Structure 1
Amino acid sequence: MALLDPHIAIVLGAVVMDLFLGDPRTLPHPVVIIGWLISWLERVLRQRISDPRLAGVALLVVTVGVSYLVAAGLIYLGTLVAPAVGFLVALYLAWVSIAARSLHVESAKVAKALERGDLPAARVALSYIVGRETAQLDEPEVIRGAVETVAENTGDGVVAPLFYLMLGGPALAIAYKAVNTLDSMVGYKNERYLEFGWASARFDDLANFIPARLTGLLMVLAAPLCGLSSAGSWRILHRDCRNHASPNSGYPEAAAAGALGVRLGGANRYFGRIVEKPTIGDPVRPLSLEAYAGVVRLMYCSEAIMVLGWMALMLALKVTI
């Protein structure tokens, strides 16, 4: 009977739906709606609050609060109609909070273009999933961008939403997605958002603190299941996890670089300016399509270990109680 626990069923069902279906294309996606809310609130709050930091704090509180309450309210209203309806609403919200399949599909467009020998198309495909300029990148640098994106987003697109889903259900997972969306929309260190987006950027760092480190450890555990190096993953994770501007992104990137035996980081071009970043990992192997395939396997294996480990813990707790 323990396997029929609704919370376990929702988490497991959401992961399976994401793996086989990816993001729904014809249904309303909460992240899109949250994005609309953020854009509207930015206009309103900038007009009504003169202090940009205070306006940014209000944006964070209102966006995350509304996202959580609406998600919880929808589940509650569905349950009032019928328990099965509430379950389906919760399952849908949990499903769309996870992005493993979407991350794979979008990054695979880069790899498929390279397999065809079409470097210009690969550069364009990469430009949709990274912030750096891609027009002048050679093939290894394009692959580096794809590997870094999959590694980093294994943390905030897969492990983090699962962490909050497991911890507090679909409403908390949607609240996390609101935090993540805020950071992606206003968490920039430029003139427009340096002050206004400060609270969102810092809260995103806080929300990802545990999931990022958990992702690194999951990758170490997953590496041998993927034909990669667990020892290398642990060594580089320990050595290079802080070689990143983000307090969190270095953990999954270092674990992935060590498992793959590649070097990540280095120079990137943003708005016509070269930015030198610390390197992560050692160039034991070249940045190739094999490295990209390896990081995708690492993402899925890390997700599987997390889900199975959590299910085992939940079932063990039920038995002991």
Structure 2
Amino acid sequence: MTSADLLSWLTIPAAFALDAALGDPRRLPHPVRWMGWTIGRAEPLFRRWLANERLAGLLFALSLIVGWWGVAALVTGLGWRLHGAVGFAVETVLLFYCLSARSLGQAAMEIHRSLSAGEVDLARSQVAMIVGRDVERYQADDIARATVETVAENVVDGVLAPLFFAAIGGAPLAVAYKMVNTLDSMVGYKNPRYLLFGRAAARIDDGVNFVPARLSPLLIGLAAWLTPGLAARRALTTAWREGAHHASPNAGYPEAAFAGALGVCLNGPNYYHGVLVDKPHIGVGLGTVGMAHIPLACRLMTRTALLGCLLAWLASY
């Protein structure tokens, strides 16, 4: 193995360590914010160019995904050609920006601190920033449940899936995944504006998350086994039995594994933009989520992320 190969192999653990140390540095430029800006500027252009909304949405999504992959591949390629250390730094930073384990845990623990202090109104405003549902009537247990669900679902979107694609195609493929994820969060809605135009973005997101979501219960189960007080076997059996019981084809698997590990019931009906969506419960027959489950969920997420990093690192060898 050459020095450049060794440096390339070390980008995954280096990026993971950087995320663990820094989280989301809000004062620094962030590619995900640039992705959002690109989506906002490109959408009206594609709508004007093509009258067929489904075709326009498909070309819009593919152009942005391929375009961002190309930019990331060009930047990392130039870095490696300049010097191994430059390539290592560029690829590490790009992958670091694709990970969000620390920021996810920080957001959840801020809500936990607010609930512990009895500041339910503050916790409600905090949870509204990380979920897409209506939370105006949420009380403490509802807020705790929404927080645990978000931690469970985003362990795939924010950690495992970027690592999975980095192991396959380096930071450029992780960047392309992040664009897919950002597109889905911005246009993948079933409302009059995006029902047709955003359909391709939503389907692509479902497709790229298919494998990481189904691998996640194995890592969550192992992380639960390594965490005192959590039930590893129940995490696996709940994921197997109820992972498909979700409106999303992928989100149910990590949520069911978390539900089993923590011994709580998640999901269920929620209001979105004033409309009641009748989602099935996951973890049927298990206990009610309380604020004490938030730090447990964060601990489980952190250990799952660490195992995912280790697996991706070994797979990239």
Q: TM-score, normalised by structure 1?
A: 0.94
Distance 1:275 1:81 in 2: 53
Q: Which amino acid aligns with 2:258?
A: A
The one-character-per-residue Cα deviations of 1:78-131 (angstroms, maximum 9, x if unpaired) are 234333222211111011111101111122221111011011111100000001
Q: Which amino acid aligns with 1:237?
A: A
Measured after TM superposition, the shift of residue 264 of structure 1 is 0.4
Distance 2:253 2:2 in 1: 34
The one-character-per-residue Cα deviations of 1:296-320 (angstroms, maximum 9, x if unpaired) are 11111111222223444556xxxxx
Unmatched tracts of structure 1, length 5 or more: 316-321
**2:57 equivalent in structure 1:** 56
**1:206 equivalent in structure 2:** 207
Measured after TM superposition, the shift of residue 77 of structure 1 is 2.2
**1:241 equivalent in structure 2:** 243
The one-character-per-residue Cα deviations of 1:205-255 (angstroms, maximum 9, x if unpaired) are 000000101112211111121221011111111111011000000000000
Q: How do 1:268-307 residues align onto structure 2 when only pairs under 5 Å count?
A: 268-307=270-309
Distance 2:44 2:13 in 1: 39
The one-character-per-residue Cα deviations of 1:117-170 (angstroms, maximum 9, x if unpaired) are 011111100000001111111111110100000000001111000101111100
Distance 2:121 2:74 in 1: 47
Distance 1:275 1:26 in 2: 37
Kindly indicate whether the alpha-carbon contact (under 8 Å) linking 1:240 and 1:280 is maintained by their aligned counterparts in 2.
Answer: yes
Larger displacement relative to structure 2 (148-157 or 282-291):
282-291
Q: Closer, same or farther in 2 for the Cα pair 1:85/1:143, shift >3 Å? A: same
Kindly indicate whether the alpha-carbon contact (under 8 Å) linking 1:261 and 1:283 is maintained by their aligned counterparts in 2.
Answer: no
Distance 2:273 2:186 in 1: 17
Q: How do 1:165-176 residues align onto structure 2 when only pairs under 5 Å count?
A: 165-176=166-177
Distance 2:235 2:46 in 1: 45
Give the alignment partner of residue 268 of structure 2, picking from 250, 266, 269: 266
Larger displacement relative to structure 2 (25-34 or 63-72):
25-34
SS in 1 for 2:51: coil
Q: Closer, same or farther in 2 for the Cα pair 1:45/1:293, shift >3 Å? A: same
Kindly indicate whether the alpha-carbon contact (under 8 Å) linking 1:258 and 1:282 is maintained by their aligned counterparts in 2.
Answer: no
Q: How do 1:1-321 residues align onto structure 2 when only pairs under 5 Å count?
A: 5-227=6-228, 228-312=230-314
SS in 1 for 2:270: strand
Distance 1:222 1:282 in 2: 22
Distance 2:36 2:315 in 1: 35
SS in 2 for 1:5: helix
Larger displacement relative to structure 2 (253-262 or 288-297):
288-297
Distance 1:119 1:217 in 2: 35
SS in 2 for 1:274: strand
Larger displacement relative to structure 2 (265-274 or 56-65):
265-274
Kindly indicate whether the alpha-carbon contact (under 8 Å) linking 2:168 and 2:316 is maintained by their aligned counterparts in 1.
Answer: no
Distance 1:149 1:44 in 2: 33
Q: Closer, same or farther in 2 for the Cα pair 1:131/1:36, shift >3 Å? A: same
Q: Which amino acid aligns with 2:132?
A: G
Q: Closer, same or farther in 2 for the Cα pair 1:110/1:50, shift >3 Å? A: same
Distance 2:238 2:149 in 1: 15
Distance 2:48 2:313 in 1: 48
Distance 1:179 1:63 in 2: 9
Kindly indicate whether the alpha-carbon contact (under 8 Å) linking 2:32 and 2:178 is maintained by their aligned counterparts in 1.
Answer: yes
Distance 1:106 1:24 in 2: 14
SS in 1 for 2:204: helix
Q: Closer, same or farther in 2 for the Cα pair 1:151/1:8, shift >3 Å? A: same
Measured after TM superposition, the shift of residue 6 of structure 1 is 2.1
Larger displacement relative to structure 2 (78-87 or 271-280):
78-87
Measured after TM superposition, the shift of residue 15 of structure 1 is 0.4
Kindly indicate whether the alpha-carbon contact (under 8 Å) linking 2:140 and 2:291 is maintained by their aligned counterparts in 1.
Answer: no
Measured after TM superposition, the shift of residue 268 of structure 1 is 1.0
How many equivalent pairs are there?
315
Distance 1:258 1:2 in 2: 45
User: Once the two structures are aligned, what percentage of the paired residues are identical?
Assistant: 43
